[in-house]
Structure 1
């Protein structure tokens, strides 16, 4: 992945829920060291609304059981880019924060109500232990890199640098020469 410019996140943030650590790292969401969801943009919020864990990125909000099972995906956001989400102070409801507006999301009916002036409880992030960080980095995945692109890059010789195309062409000419000469 490094040759394509994709690097695993250096730091991970975790939220402890029922003796498990919900970890966000770039575009991946983990429960302990098991990947449970991905997003096209970085995850920025994880909240615990008993009995659910709510995770959000810029384009969606996902609801999970505390066991790590996905309950629902809410992607019909009232505005374009979600900045953060979290519980309301002294309340158990979910607040969605956009650039200028706030909305309450009812996690049972998925009704969205415009509000203002609510204070959000931000999660108390915990540091992720070093062994778990290494495990998470080894599981790093990229959505933009497809098998088709990888095979085309190998076939075109891009892995051999700027002269890779010439090396691949010379190899093809050599094999063609062997085939026509009857050696192979």
Structure 2
């Protein structure tokens, strides 16, 4: 290549190398930092840490819970938030369907959704799950404590009463059983922090950073922007090699 044309090409490459480098500097920093965070997401706990920023949850379409119910408050509140169950501020369960009821029984917690019955200890550790394989025929409808202090399970097939160990459920005539107070009420004064925690379980910081790194966080058009950045990186690499290879002509 003639010397004059080579100098012209070098000047052109330097100009666009500088312009595109400055224009994409911020995006390259975002890509680099998000890439580092993704590589260390597990060590930093980002794959378990929920997002608790309201506007970001709204942006992802994670709205306010639709159904909030508060059950027995003695010795601690049991709160159902859609398909989640909470013991005060402690998360207990996330089911595939809404939680229908929860009660305290002999220092244990019993909860149901339409498909299963769950038994927790006082500290909120799951002890046992019962369903159709255990002899409970869904759908389950309601759960309460009888006037005698016995757990009563209502299903579409009838009313069941449990033995003291909660191992065997027997049919009982509703007319022969006095149902006590289930202590369920529509919750109207739930701590806003608890609602944020419930929503945050649907979105982790790892997911947000992955979406930021890939460009999906800003919608479909951002994918084209990130493709452009990739091409710019390729151009910067090739133009840098070109200028290094022909540096003796930079005069």
Deviations 1:124-168 (A, max 9, x none): 2357685x5222123125777688866664454222123122122
Task: Name the SS for the 1:136 alignment partner.
Answer: helix
Computing the radius of gyration over CA atoms, which structure comes out larger, 1 or 2? 2
How large is the Cα RMSD of the aligned pairs? Answer: 3.2
Task: Say if 2:138 and 2:156, in contact at 8 Å, map to a contact too.
Answer: no
Matches within 5 A, 1:1-184: 1-9=57-65, 12-14=68-70, 15-18=72-75, 20-75=76-131, 76=133, 78-88=136-146, 90-106=147-163, 108=165, 110-117=167-174, 118=177, 120-125=179-184, 130=189, 133-141=191-199, 153-182=211-240
Deviations 1:56-89 (A, max 9, x none): 122222223334343322234632322222223x
Residues 109/134 of structure 1: CA separation in 2 closer, same or farther (3 Å cut): closer
Residues 52/62 of structure 1: CA separation in 2 closer, same or farther (3 Å cut): same
Residues 109/138 of structure 1: CA separation in 2 closer, same or farther (3 Å cut): closer
Residues 85/21 of structure 1: CA separation in 2 closer, same or farther (3 Å cut): same
Bigger relative CO (Cα 8 Å, ≥ 6 apart): 2
Please, which runs of 5 or more residues in structure 2 have no aligned partner? 1-56, 242-251
Structure with greater strand share of residues: 1
Task: Name the SS for the 1:2 alignment partner.
Answer: helix
TM-score (norm 2): 0.58
Please, which runs of 5 or more residues in structure 1 have no aligned partner? none
Task: Say if 2:97 and 2:113, in contact at 8 Å, map to a contact too.
Answer: yes
Q: How many equivalent residue pairs? A: 180
Between 110-119 and 164-173, report the one with greater CA deviation: 110-119
